[in-house]
Amino acid sequence: MNTGSLIYNIGITLLPGVGSITAKNLIAYCGSAETVFSEKRSRLEKIPGIGTIAADTITNSAVQKDALVRAEEEIRFIEKENITPLFFTDEPFPKRLKECADSPVMLYTKGAMNPADYRSLHMPPISNGMNLNAERIVSIVGSRKSTSYGKKICEQLVDALASYNVLILSGMAYGIDICAHRASLKNNLPTVGVLAHGLDNLYPAEHYNTAEKMLENGGLVSEFMSHTKMNPEYFPRRNRIVAGMADATLVIEATVKSGALITAEIANSYDRDVFAVPGRLDDPSSEGCNLLIKANKAMLMQSADDVIRVMNWDMESKKSKQRQQVLFEHLSPEEETLVNILKQKEKAHVDDISHASGLAMGRTAALLLNLEFSGVIKSLPGKVYMLNN
């Protein structure tokens, strides 16, 4: 782990009055978080949106020292607890979330990345993990006081999405959230819980066993440092990550005061697709969903087929299968071995492919080059390969 730059990447989030938008603005002008700490006050105050007061605070030596001391403490914690920090410029940082203007500068993740992602951060893999930039990501949200009907619908939706290899996001809360996580685990789908507190605790504590299982195929994500306790004021910040990381947000049950409606509003502001399950007119647990549909802020969702159709996932799958069937007809046995390895992993480094295949590195590299020329696979930076879907 490159703690040299990390201390400043964390430290900039601890400067008083510097939120995520301001931090990104500072980094854009100064070149890096580290440079922000050494930049002259006269230059900082000329940056649009900064001004004299903010420049005075940022360049105050006592303020800087406090931020960096706290950052050092956080680094010790994440190293001890096998937590992976992601700066917004890191390759594994969620790209969909990065598109949102108010996205966090820093995320803290546990068990939520591919080995190739760890390699890009010069870190050893912690678990099998998954990909925060998966091809298909859906957020499922709803009431904390879900009904048996709502839970049934949630389970049916996840069951139907399982064949499309969707990453399921939610907020680890009671009701629909935890139902979505558990249904994902049941279907062997990767699932990520976004928290409104630090990774040194879990709220609600009753969901600890589920969270532990999620680390094997998914994980936990938070923008909050350790020792940050759960606070309802943090829910909107958590909800923007839930909405921002996903292609679509599915609202299953929601009262008119449900936080799920906030997530839906945020998703709409990000120009992401929103779906809602309709309910009876006299059912308070469905009133929020009905209002979303009535206001044209969500598409009516009667089954997963509605999501699959709007997202065009069926056509993508058919085209991919047809194309791969043609491409894979004339592969040699050794090439088939490498392709099967890549089918099991979304991305893989040439070293890992060579080791898994039992082939010499030179032979593996030559076969990968042939497969790339044939259009079967594509190469990524850092000698990483993936199937060309």
CATH code of residue 58: 1.10.150.20
Count of the separate structural domains present in the chain: 3
Q: Are residues 290 and 346 in the same domain?
A: no
Whether residues 272 and 367 share a domain: the answer is no
63 within a domain of the structure (yes/no): yes
Tell me the residue ranges of DSSP E strands in 133-234. Answer: 137-141, 167-170, 191-194, 218-222
User: Residue with structure tokens 């279907």?
Assistant: 187
Interatomic CA distance for residues 180 and 156, integer angstroms: 10
Q: Radius of gyration of the chain from Cα atoms?
A: 22
Q: Do 266 and 301 share a structural domain? A: yes
* 211/303 same-domain check: yes
Q: How far apart are CA 325 and CA 323, in angstroms?
A: 5
181 and 253: one domain?
yes
Residue 244: CATH number of its domain: 3.40.50.450
Domain boundary among the residues 320, 347, 377 is at 320
Classify residue 242: in a domain, yes or no: yes
DSSP label at 164? G
85 in a structural domain: no
Positive/negative CA dihedral, 84, 88, 90, 94:
positive
Residues 43 and 163 occupy one common structural domain? no
How distant is the alpha carbon of residue 75 from its chain centre? Answer: 21
Do 157 and 301 belong together in one domain? yes
Same domain, 58 and 140: no
Q: Name the strand (E) or helix (H) holding 241.
A: helix 235-244
In-domain check, residue 91: no
Domain that includes residue 42, residue range: 3-80
Q: Is residue 224 part of a domain?
A: yes
Residue 86 lies in a domain: no
User: Is 119 among the domain residues?
Assistant: no
Q: Which helix (H) or strand (E) holds 273?
A: strand 273-276
For strands 248-251 and 273-276, give the pairing: parallel
Asked whether residue 165 falls in the same domain as residue 310, the answer is: yes
Is residue 89 domain-resident? Answer: no
User: pLDDT of the chain along its 389 residues, tens only?
Assistant: 556 799 999 999 999 999 999 999 999 999 999 999 999 999 998 888 898 988 999 999 999 999 999 999 999 999 999 999 999 999 999 999 999 999 999 999 998 455 455 445 544 444 445 589 999 999 999 999 999 999 999 999 999 999 898 999 999 999 999 999 999 999 999 999 999 999 999 999 999 999 999 998 999 999 999 999 999 999 999 999 999 999 999 999 999 988 999 999 999 999 999 999 999 888 999 999 999 999 999 999 999 999 999 999 875 554 455 445 545 556 888 988 998 898 888 789 999 999 999 999 888 988 888 888 777 888 887 788 888 76
The pTM of the full predicted model, rounded to 2 decimals, is: 0.77
Same domain, 281 and 310: yes
> Which one, of 361, 355, 310, 364, lies nearest residue 334 by Cα?
364
Do residue 340 and residue 261 come from a single domain? no
Count of alpha carbons within 13 Å of 273, Cβ hemisphere only? 17
